[in-house]
Structure 1
């Protein structure tokens, strides 16, 4: 039996045109530190030659599908254990650190050792306010900043993830698995911290990322699903229930009615 598979999408209707992805900060606290995400671009590469890689349509198309999230802080972290053996991070910058240690503890979390994937690889989480929403099925994938060169590579890997933002608008975290805890983690404000890619029902659809209003409807929906991860192991099992609670429209671009 021959099966015909079509990769075409309709020219009109909800599955046509650009994918509109809304982003917002889950909190206004210190919002000035969290710069808007930017599309990945090879701005500093030479384009003088017609055959330059920076002119290549494949490269341009690939870059257009990733968005860069800059690091909000300068951080220099070491790993240690307390007198009772509990894992902890150390603010290596000490008094020279631009972020106070007390404030650092508000945005940086050492994951409980029992929850590490490997017993010799500590996991830390940097709490971030970036949250996404869409009015059609769209998945976000969070991944490392693979196109950013570091003279001193990070001593581990980022914990990526993928989930549907139309049903599960929750703030992202930068989760890091510390493969070499004997080596320090050094992050610079403004450097790429991670990338995000968005997928809908067609690989050819461009993505339009817009900042949206935190309307009462959006706030209520986010609150309805926000704490579920603390009570349920498999949150993906809640997607049908979340869909039943969801208003039809949640994406309201800033400055538009």
Structure 2
């Protein structure tokens, strides 16, 4: 099942047949049915520190620069102030603390975020919530995406928990991303601010020397048809990674189609 790591699988570029491109293109798609303008394009993760003066500064360290060059940050789309509580029946609830003064209507917030069932939490006293996002990442070269917390962004008031990260092979498993949060201190509120770094995406290639180029992509009919094979598979099987070989075998030669600039 690991043939795709060697570039020998059906539907993936044969390294012996054609020279490998130096740059790996990663396509992002904002697959939003409405309010698409609230979602920003992934942006390179750059520290906004003062001008570097010393030649030995961390700001000019090649290892640091190369590491950060592979990081892209996804900004938070909304301002929201959430509180967690259990109702009288012991069921978990989310409260939009800002109420009528909130910039997002509670009805639409409920369509965006939900509390996972308590039996699916990793710890009985740590609620897990999930935000739905329209971000889809896809590549035609072997490429794994790591979803990571925005650890370079300093928060004067720390979050009352941690983001749950993940790692996916976006060349065979492109799917809409979620933002999952494990609430370690449910007695404290969770406050998110629009425009602040929400999470990072870091990309690994088969050759760590190959740089990444982020491009806007189209959700073509070919890509949409392919994605139907992996949609909702977690409702049917436990170990979804066991389906990678099937995805590899059924993958069309090309999934990434760059969006034409108007």
TM-score by length of 1: 0.91
Match of 2:27 among 8, 22, 25: 22
SS at match of 1:221: helix
1:211/1:253 contact within 8 Å kept = yes
Per-residue CA shift, 1:86-116, capped at 9, x if unaligned? Answer: 0111111111110111110000010000000
Aligned to 2:53: 48
| CA positional deviation for 1:141 | 0.6
Whether 1:190 and 2:198 are equivalent positions in the alignment is: no
Paired position in structure 2 for 1:32: 37
Q: Which residue of 1 aligns with 2:212?
A: 207
2:66 aligned partner? 61
- Equivalent positions of 1:64-143 (< 5 A) are 64-143=69-148
Contact map agreement 1:45 1:54 (CA 8 A) in 2: no
**How far apart in 1 are the matches of 2:222 and 2:29?**
14
* Structure-2 separation of matches of 1:45 and 1:207: 26
1:144–1:194 Cα contact (<8 Å) kept: yes
1:230 aligns with 2:239: no
Cα deviation 1:215-257 (Å, max 9, x = unaligned): 110111112221212211111111111122211001111118x
The alpha-carbon deviation at position 14 of structure 1 amounts to 5.3
For the pair 1:175 / 2:175, whether they are aligned, the reply is: no
The answer for the alignment partner of 1:6 in structure 2 is none
* Preserved CA contact (<8 Å) 1:15 1:201: no
Q: For the aligned residues, what is the CA RMSD? A: 1.6
> Are 1:78 and 1:184, in contact at CA under 8 Å, matched by a contact in 2?
yes
The alignment covers a number of residue pairs equal to: 246
1:13-54 per-position Cα deviation (integer Å, ceiling 9, x unaligned): 454401111110223421101100001112333223433322
1:168 deviation in Å?
0.8
1:218 and 2:212 matched: no
d(CA) in 1 for partners of 2:50, 2:20: 35
TM-score by length of 2: 0.90
Superposed CA offset, 1:130-170 (max 9, x none): 01111122111111111000000001011100111111111
